[in-house]
Homo-oligomer: A and B are copies of this chain.
Amino acid sequence: MRCDGFLFFDFMQKLQVTLWNEFIHEKEKPEVAKIYPNGIHGAWIDALRGVPELELTTATLEQPDHGLGNGVLENTDVLLWWGHAGHDRVRDDIVAKVHQRVLAGMGIVVLHSGHYSKIFKKLMGTTCALSWREAGERERVWVVNPAHPIASGIEGCIELEQSEMYGEPFGIPEPDELVFVSWFQGGEVFRGGACWRRGNGKVFYFSPGHESYPIYHHPSIQRVIRNAVQWARPDTLIPAFTGNCPVEKARERVVSRGPSVH
C-alpha cells in the first residue's frame, strides 16, 4: 500500500498497533504485578485507548511465535517492544521477520530495557550498551527538540520521582534526531529519546519505563508513547525496487561492452 499523502492514510484506515511485552516480571514478582496488574502492556493500552484511529493488539513472549505469527506482524503498522529478562528467548527467525517488516516500513518504538533486545541491536548495528543503577532516584526527561512531534504537549521536562538510572556512553549510532535527554539525581545524563530511520521504517527509542516503578502510568510518559506511535506510522509499506536493470531497459541508451563475469 503506497499512500497518497498523509491525510488519506490517516483516516481511510485504522493504524494497526501491536504491543509486544515479554511479560515475565509481572507474573513472577508480586511487587511488579501490583504496579502493572494487566502487564506493562496494559498501561500502554491505557495510554493509547483514547486515540480513535488506532487498533490495538497485544503479543507476548510465551505465545506461539511470540504472538507475532498468523499474519499479526504482516498487518502491524507500528510495533512497541519491551523486554528484559527474556531477550535471549526471543527466536532468531522471529527477530529476522520483525527486522524485515521494519525495513519495509513498519514503525517500531523500543522501550527502556528493550535497548538490549535482539531486534534493537540488529537495527542499530552497535552494542546498545549503557551504564545503569537501580536506586529509585529522581529523573528529569528534558525536551531538547521542542518542535518534534514526539515532544508535542511536553513542556520543559518530565519529572519522575523514582527511576532506574541509565547513563552514557550509550552504544548507539548518532541519532537522526535527538528528542529527549535525561538528568539523574546521582549525577548522570542519558540520550533517552532518539529517532532513526532504517529502510522505510521509523525507529524511536525511549528510555523511561522500569518495571519496579509506575512510570508507564505517568500522564506525560503516556503522552510521549501516544505521540511516538503516531510519528512512527508508515509513510509507505512497499519495499523499494532494487535488482538487476537489464541493459535494454536503461533509461539512456547504452551498448554493452567490455568483459563480464556473470
Measuring CB to CB, which residues of chain A are less than 8 angstroms from any residue of chain B? 2-7, 10, 25, 29, 31-32, 51, 53, 99, 103, 105, 122-127, 129-138, 140, 142-149, 152-153, 155-157, 159, 162, 165, 167-171, 173-174, 176-178, 181-189, 191, 196-201, 211-213, 226-227, 230, 234-236, 238, 240-247, 250-252, 254-262
Partner among B29, B131, B178, B234 whose Cβ is within 8 Å of the Cβ of A245: B131
Cβ-neighbour of A135 out of B51, B170, B230, B247 (below 8 A): B247
In the bound complex, CA of A134 to CA of B145 (Å): 24
User: Contact at A183–B177, with CB atoms within 8 Å?
Assistant: no
Main secondary structure of the interface of A (DSSP, over half): loop
Contact A197 B147, beta carbon cutoff 8 Å? yes
Which of A124, A171, A244, A258 has the most chain B CB atoms closer than 10 A to its own CB?
Answer: A258
In the assembled complex, which residues on chain B have CB atoms less than 8 Å from the CB atom of A169?
Answer: 143-146, 240, 242
Determine the distance from Cα of A200 to Cα of B174 in the docked complex, in whole angstroms. Answer: 12
What is the CA–CA distance of A159 and B258 in the complex, to the nearest angstrom? 16
Q: Given the interface contacts A133-B250, A187-B183, does A258 sit within 8 Å of B162 by beta carbon?
A: yes
A168 B144 Cβ-Cβ under 8 A: yes
Number of copies: 4
Known: A159-B251, A183-B188, A188-B183. A261 touches B29 (CB 8 A): yes
| Contacting pair A131 B244 (CB below 8 A) | yes
Whether B133 and A31, one on each chain, are in contact in the complex, defined by CB atoms closer than 8 angstroms, is: no
Cα A242 to Cα B131 in complex, Å, equals 5
In whole angstroms, how far apart are the Cα atoms of A154 and B116 in the complex? 26
When distances are taken between beta carbons in the complex, the residues of chain B under 8 Å from A146 are 169, 200, 236, 238, 240
Say whether B153 contacts A4, CB under 8 Å. Answer: yes
Point out the residues of chain B lying under 8 angstroms from A257, CB to CB.
135-137, 162
Judging by beta carbons under 8 Å apart, are B168 and A212 in contact?
no
Closest approach, in angstroms, between the C-beta of A21 and any C-beta of chain B? 15
